[in-house]
Structure 1
Amino acid sequence: MRWTSQKWHRIFAAGTLGLLSLALQPVAMAQAYPSKPIKMIVPFPAGGTTDIVARLVAQRMSESMGQAVTVDNRGGAGGAIGADLMAKAAPDGYTIMMHNLSFPLASVAQTLANRSPFNVDTDFAGVSIAVYVPFIWTASPSVPAKDLKELAALLRTNPALQYNYGSTGPGSTMHVLGEALKKEGKVNITHIPFKGAAPLKQELLAGRLQVGGDQLSSSLAEIKAGTLKVLATTASKRIPGMPDVPTVKELGFPNLELEGWNGVFAPAKTPKDIIDRLNREVIAAVRHPDVVKRLNDLGAEGVGSTPAEQDAMLRRQMDQFRTIIREMRLE
């Protein structure tokens, strides 16, 4: 057979196209994201605010992305167990996490105690602040105090009272705020850690725990029913639907003021195009009319932020928490 220059050109062209096709496969795969289900880790048991918000967001993301976004509850250690799983996940966009204000707090507490399994500065990438949800101090109806100021006065004048306060775990938001209350209010009250807001609430309802706290959504139904009382909000302003609930600052505890939020994170080194896609999806989810209504019913406000805005919030609160924890020698 005689090979002409035209045949050689055709063979060369076919080979070049084949190589180009192989080279473009990673690009095509990246453009196809997501091509399989996405797991959203919630580092608390089912039933708490973070879990509720995660399920609302995951449902909307599933519908808009064409792939299932499933919630995986991994409670314990104030949210650190679930965060550690996230830190070790592949940075491919198929494992993400919904966490709350306790994320930077627990991270700082464990870092200062030299036992943190991850580094919050290097192991996570912010996606978006999903919602703002105020934190509140709650109490069993049997507690004879109408607010946090009266509670502190009660404990000071009755030092023999064996009162306990609950939190969602060591180093969690309410743990540190409880220790701050002990210092600011000059009171004696013992910390009892739980794996999440749901078991904490059950102990309050049963009267076996006197004081506790978490995000408003976790106890809103019980507050409306009168089976739990609210002692204060840690937010900078009163809760719109509860104008009679004072802020901690109004009650004389300005150092207990903290804004509550829930946000979505991905592992560090997740490609920017995937972070951008997830950011758009989270923002669209929390701004969807059906989700907005459900969030309002929970006492939450849909936000949606840029990754940079979320990272800035995280760093500010970490700096604030680091000072509090160091002063209190929490371990």
Structure 2
Amino acid sequence: MPTIRRHVLAAALAASALSALPALAQGDYPAAKPVTVVVSYPPGGDTDAIARLFAEKLGQRIKQSVIIDNRPGAGGAIGNGHVGRAAPDGYTLLFTPNPFTTAPMVMKLSGAASYDVLGGYEAVINTATQPLVLVGNPAALGDAKTLPQLVAAAKAGKSVSYASPGAGSPMHIVGEWLNKAAGVKFSHVPYRGVGPSVNDVVAGHVDTAWVTIGAVRQYLGTGKLIPLAIGDAQRSRLAPEVPTLVELGYKDVVVGAWNGFFAPKGTPAAVVKLLNEHLNAILKEPEVVEKLAVFGALPAGGAPDVLARLNQREYAVMGKAIRDLGISAE
């Protein structure tokens, strides 16, 4: 083939390849279509409400509709798996709390029902943290007004129960970890969500509950519930008077809640960077900080690798705890 003809053919093929590139590679993202944020839980809960807050703010910044798609079921696995299988073009994102990391372990998922926690997604941003708090019904606790007093009462024969929003949840994990560390057996009562567990501890149907701070804040100031301990390593500025489990002598028992955005594996780095920058800016808005506090959440932020490392660390630490404690959602 003559040299000139080869050059013309090569130029034509290059032009054709460029025209076939997706819009996001041409710098137009996200002009092609709305961005869908999958939430693996039903509408109405904390995760859904926080996701909608970020979706509204993100849509304003990228000048494109950001739609929430609720896909609940199987401890979050249905929605999580859907995003893991979605096209890596930046138009499908996952907003999730940290059961994303542990669900395949506690749900005993297999085959098509599971997903690759560490290798199947691109981390975008760790949006917020939510400290876990152990609260008790003062009438049910009797003379025990602190966790050490309650542990002592349990060792002396008092029957103590604790509620969680579900078997295999971070609240279940911290409850069983505390049982082991303290040498007691607070009976686990799983519920389907935070709301029902809070309602029953307020009513006195269960003695205590592990929940997020936002879910019980209205009851802490009225005496209907009393705070006993925080699951994080440090005290929370949302409840600075409440001691941590570490302070109370259970130095290895550290479990918190967090949420963040992930994208399907292979999503272009430029898109991940753009989303990360916008969401970091959103997290600095006073209105957002104020609304997150209502849910007992504190803004986090940072580069995508902050979330990636958090996910990896939780997979290792919580995975070991789940195995050691025999935690299961079944």
Does the pair score TM above 0.5? yes
Picking from 275, 279, 283, the partner of 2:276 is 279
Between the aligned partners of 2:327 and 2:290, the Cα distance in structure 1 is 39
Picking from 297, 321, 329, the partner of 2:326 is 329
Aligned residues: 317
Structure 1 residue 175 displacement after superposition:
1.3
Identity of counterpart residues, as a percentage? 32
**Which amino acid in 2 is paired with 1:120?**
V
Between the aligned partners of 1:74 and 1:320, the Cα distance in structure 2 is 27
Q: Does 56-65 or 221-230 show the bigger shift? A: 221-230
> Which is greater in Rg?
1
Q: Equivalences for 1:106-121 in 2 at 5 Å?
A: 106-110=103-107, 117-121=114-118
| 2:29 maps to 1:33 | yes
Q: Is the 8 Å Cα contact of residues 205 and 228 (structure 1) preserved in structure 2?
A: yes
Q: Is the 8 Å Cα contact of residues 133 and 260 (structure 1) preserved in structure 2?
A: yes
Moved over 4 A (4+): 16-19, 113-116
**Which amino acid in 2 is paired with 1:156?**
K
Secondary structure of the residue aligned to 1:255 is coil
Q: Is the 8 Å Cα contact of residues 149 and 252 (structure 1) preserved in structure 2?
A: no
Q: Does 116-125 or 220-229 show the bigger shift? A: 220-229
Cα distance per residue 1:230-253 (max 9 Å; x no partner): 221112222224232111112222
Between the aligned partners of 1:196 and 1:95, the Cα distance in structure 2 is 26
Q: Equivalences for 1:57-136 in 2 at 5 Å?
A: 57-110=54-107, 117-136=114-133
Secondary structure of the residue aligned to 2:166 is coil
**Which amino acid in 2 is paired with 1:149?**
P
Picking from 263, 266, 281, the partner of 1:266 is 263
| 2:14 maps to 1:23 | no
Q: Equivalences for 1:300-311 in 2 at 5 Å?
A: 300-311=297-308
Name the counterpart of 2:150.
151
Between the aligned partners of 2:224 and 2:70, the Cα distance in structure 1 is 27
TM-score normalised over the length of structure 2: 0.84
Cα distance per residue 1:122-150 (max 9 Å; x no partner): 22221001112211112334331323333
Q: Equivalences for 1:147-296 in 2 at 5 Å?
A: 147-158=146-157, 161=159, 163-296=160-293
Structure 1 residue 267 displacement after superposition:
1.7
Structure 1 residue 60 displacement after superposition:
0.5
Between the aligned partners of 1:199 and 1:324, the Cα distance in structure 2 is 26
**Which amino acid in 1 is paired with 2:29?**
Y
Cα distance per residue 1:247-288 (max 9 Å; x no partner): 111222222213432211112222222212221221121112
Secondary structure of the residue aligned to 1:198 is helix
Between the aligned partners of 1:110 and 1:170, the Cα distance in structure 2 is 9
**Gapped regions of structure 1 (runs ≥ 5):** 1-12
Between the aligned partners of 1:173 and 1:130, the Cα distance in structure 2 is 18
Between the aligned partners of 1:165 and 1:77, the Cα distance in structure 2 is 23
TM-score normalised over the length of structure 1: 0.84
Q: Report the aligned-residue RMSD.
A: 2.9
Structure 1 residue 311 displacement after superposition:
0.7
Name the counterpart of 1:8.
none
Q: Does 188-197 or 233-242 show the bigger shift? A: 188-197
Structure 1 residue 176 displacement after superposition:
1.2
Q: Is the 8 Å Cα contact of residues 104 and 114 (structure 2) preserved in structure 1?
A: no
**Gapped regions of structure 2 (runs ≥ 5):** 1-7
Secondary structure of the residue aligned to 1:96 is strand
